Chains A and B, each alone.
Chain A
Amino acid sequence: MSTLLDIKNLSTHFNTSAGTIKAVNDVSFELREGETLGLVGESGCGKSVTALSIMRLVPSPPGRIVSGDVIFQGQNLLKISEAEMQNVRGRDIGMIFQEPMTSLNPVLSIGRQLREPLELHLGMTKQQSLSRSSELLELVGIPDPATRLKTFPHQTSGGQRQRIMIAMALSCEPKLLIADEATTALDVTIQAQILEIIKDLTDRLGTSVIIITHNLGVVARYADSVNVMYAGKLRESGSLDQVYKEPKHPYTVGLLNSVPTLDLDADVRLQPIRGEIPNLIDLPKGCAFIDRCDYAGQKCEESEPELEEVEDAHFGACWEHKRVSKSLLGITS
C-alpha cells in the first residue's frame, strides 16, 4: 500500500494574550491508502487542531500553521493556493465534525446542502445531483430519502444528522475521511450504527480514515493503527496490538488503566493518572508528562524525549520506555 498522507514536522500555534500555545508541536506521521488510523488523546492534546491543520481550517488569527509539510497524494497542501485547497476539501478529503447541528447550515434544506459538493466538485447537473443525493441518503440508512431531502436540519434527530454529514463527506468519494469525535455526542446504539456505516462505506470505497476520539474502545474496534497525543505532541504510535498490549509510553498505560471495560473484573479499582493536564502556555522544560508520571527520573526533567522506534514500527517518546509496562489490571490477584 502506498502512502496517501505524509505529515512532516507539523506545528500549529495559537497566539493569545497570555502567550503562545503550541497546540500541535512538531508532529509527523504517515497514513497509507485504505488504512484506518486512530488519533487519541484528551481535550487540549492537539488532535483536533492536527485535523484542522490538514484541512487548512485553523482559525487565523489566533491560529497559525508555523511549519511543516502536509503531503497528500504527492502534493504539499500547505503550499497550494486557497482556491486549489477548496478543490481538495470535500472532493479529496471529507470531514465529519463532532456536533452535527453546528456543522450543517440551519437555513438550507438537506437536499441543497448535499447537492452542493456534487455540483461544485463533480460538475453534476441539478437533476443528476438530486438523484445522487437521494442514493447517498439511502446508503447511510435514512428511510424515505426523497422526502428527507426537502427537510431542514432541525427536523432530524442527532443520529440522522450525523448520517447526513457522512453522506455529504463521502459524496465525492474522497481518498481520505477525517472523523473528528463523530460519535461522541450520540447514544451507544446510535454510535454503533454510525461507526458501522463509516466502516462499511470506507471499506467499499477504499478510503483511508483518521478517527479522532478520546474513546479507546472505538479505536480498538475500528482502527488499524493508533497515534497517542499529549500536550501537542505524538507520544506513541504503532499498530493496534502493539499499543494496546505493550504500550511504551506511561501516558498510554495511564489511559488504558483509567477506563473501566466490560472484559475486566468488575470490581477492579481504576488506576487514574494523577494530577491534571499541564498548562500549554507554560510547559515543563523536559517531558510534558513529567508531573503525572510514575517513571520520571533525572533525564526526564532535563530534556524532552523524541519519538523513537522501540520495536518494529512501534514508536514511543519516553526515556524510560524499557521500564514501562502495562500492569495487567484485573488479572492480578
Chain B
Amino acid sequence: MTTTTANSTKDEAISNTQSPLLEIRNLKVHFPVTEGFIIQRQVGVIKAVDGVNLSVNPGETLGLVGESGSGKTTIGRAILKLENATEGQILLNGEDITKSTGNRLRDFRRRLGMVFQDPFGSLNPRMSAGNLVGEPLKIHGLTTTKSDYKRRVAELLKIVGLNSMMAGRYPHEFSGGQRQRIGVARALAAKPDVMVLDEPVSALDVSIQAQVINLIKDLQTEFGLAYIFIAHDLSVVRNISDRVAVMYLGKIVEIGSRDDIYNHPKHPYTQALLSAVPTANPELERNRERIVLEGDIPSPLNPPSGCVFRTRCPLATKECSTQVPELQSVSGNHRAACIKGDWYKSDSSEHESVSEEA
C-alpha cells in the first residue's frame, strides 16, 4: 500500500507540504437533454457539475455537502469514471483519469474504491457475501492461489466486523447495516488509496449509522485511506471530515477546514444550511435563531444568471444577477463565493480562485 505513512504525515499534508493524492481541475459534467423520437435533437443541457476544483491529500477526509441536485454524487461518480467528464481533469497521483481507457483505467479503478448509498440496491442479490467481497481480488488478479483468496476474503470480512462464517450467505440474509459493511469490505478489497463514500449511512437507522461511521473512521486510521465523504447530513460530515466543501447547483460555494465551515461559515447558503439542521438539544433549539430559505433549488436546466444561489438568498441584490461570484480566499484556505462578503474583492484582476491549492 502506498499510503501507509499517511497518518503520521496527515497534519503536514493538510498544511500544504505534499502534493495532493487526488486533484480535480475545472471539472464539468454536463448532461444533454434531448427531444424527439427518431431524430433526436438537443434542447438543453444540465450542468450537474460546473467548473469544480478540489484536492484530497493522503489520509485526509474531504466532506462534500449539499442538497439533492447539487452535483455532489456526480463528482463522486466522475472520479471513478462512472460518468464521463465533459471538461476538466481528474488527476490521481498526477495522472489524468478522464482520458484513460482499458488496462490503464482498470489500474486507476483499483486505486479507487466506492461505497454506495443504497445497501439494498448496490449488492448483486445472486452473489454470496464472500464472492461480492472477493470479486475485486479476481478482477485485479490480486490473489494467486485459491487458499490465498479465501484467506483474504475472510480477512476483509473480519476487518469490517463480520464473521468469516457468513461468507456463504446472500445479501437478503443480512440487515441494512451488515450489507453496508459488505459494501465497505468490497471497496477495500483492492487496497485503494482513495475511497469515495456516497451517502454511506443515510439509509441506516441511527444506532446502526453510528456503528458504520465508527468503522469508516477506524479503517482510515488503520489503512491511511483518503476519503471523499458525500452526504447531506451536516452533523455526520462534521464528525468525519478534515475539510468540507459546500456545493449548490453544480458549483462549490464554500470550502475550508471543518472548523472554518462549521464555526465561521461565510457563504449565506452555508449559514442557512447549518441553521436548518435541528440539533438533539432542546435547550439550544429554544434559543437558536434560524434562517429559513424560501423556495426550492432552481432547475439545473435553467439556472439563474449571475450567482446560482441568488433566487433564495436573503442578501441578494441586483448585482448578484449580473456578476458570477468566484471562490475567493476568506483566510488561508478558507474560500467562499459571494460578492456580498466583506472579504470579496469585486475588481480583483488576478483570478486566483481558478486553481485550488489544497
Contacts and interface: CB of A to CB of B under 8 A. Distances in A.
Interface of A: 42-43, 141, 157, 159-160, 187-193, 195-196, 214-222, 240-241, 244-245, 254-263, 266, 268-274, 276-277
Contact of A259 (B210, B259, B283): B210
B214 A260 contact: no
B276 A189 contact: yes
A270 B276 contact: no
Given A244-B280, A262-B274, A187 B206 contact: no
Interface in B210-242: 210-211, 213-214, 217, 232, 234-236, 238-239
B282 A255 contact: no
Main secondary structure of the interface of B (DSSP, over half): helix
A167 to B, nearest CB: 17
Nearest to A292: B207
Shortest 7 CB-CB contacts between residues of A and residues of B: A217-B278, A272-B210, A260-B239, A216-B280, A187-B67, A258-B210, A192-B276
A220 B282 contact: yes
Interface of B: 67-68, 175, 177, 205-211, 213-214, 217, 232, 234-236, 238-239, 258-259, 262, 272-285, 290, 292-294, 296-297, 312
B296 A190 contact: yes
A98 to B, nearest CB: 14
Nearest to A240: B282
A189 B213 CA distance: 24
B232 A214 contact: no
Contacts, number: 132
Given A217-B278, A272-B210, A192 B234 contact: no
B279 A263 contact: yes
Name the residue in A216, A221, A241, A255 with the highest tally of chain B Cβ atoms < 10 Å from its Cβ.
Answer: A221
Nearest to B278: A217
B285 A220 contact: yes
A262 B296 contact: no
A195 B273 CA distance: 15
Q: Which of the listed residues B206, B214, B272 has the most CB atoms from chain A within 10 Å of its own CB?
A: B206
Contacts of B68: 187
Contact of B296 (A157, A216, A254, A271): A157
Given A217-B235, A217-B277, A256-B280, 14 more contacts: A188-B234, A188-B277, A190-B67, A192-B276, A192-B293, A214-B206, A215-B278, A217-B278, A218-B278, A240-B282, A245-B282, A266-B262, A269-B217, A276-B175
Contacts of A271: 210
B290 A192 contact: yes
B281 A189 contact: no
Contacts of B312: 189
Nearest to B212: A272
B207 A217 contact: no
A259 B205 contact: no
Given A190-B296, A217-B278, A258 B273 contact: no
A260 B238 contact: yes
A266 B238 contact: yes
A262 B205 contact: no
Contacts of B278: 192, 195, 215, 217-218, 220-222
A256 B281 CA distance: 9
Contact of A188 (B206, B259, B273): B273
Given A187-B68, A189-B273, A260-B213, A270 B239 contact: yes
B218 to A, nearest CB: 10
B315 to A, nearest CB: 15
A261 B281 CA distance: 9
Contact of A42 (B205, B213, B217): B205
B276 A191 contact: yes
B234 A266 contact: no
A259 B276 contact: no
B249 to A, nearest CB: 13
Contact of B234 (A214, A262, A270, A273): A262
Contact of B262 (A160, A244, A245, A262): A262
Contacts of A215: 278
10 contacts: A42-B207, A188-B232, A190-B296, A191-B276, A259-B210, A262-B274, A262-B277, A266-B258, A272-B209, A273-B210
Nearest to B217: A269
A254 B207 contact: yes
Given A188-B276, A263-B279, A270-B213, A258 B292 contact: no
Contacts of B205: 42-43, 214, 277
A187 B232 contact: yes
Given A189-B293, A191-B276, A193-B292, A273 B207 contact: yes
A160 to B, nearest CB: 7
Given A188-B232, A189-B272, A262-B274, A217 B280 contact: yes
A215 to B, nearest CB: 7
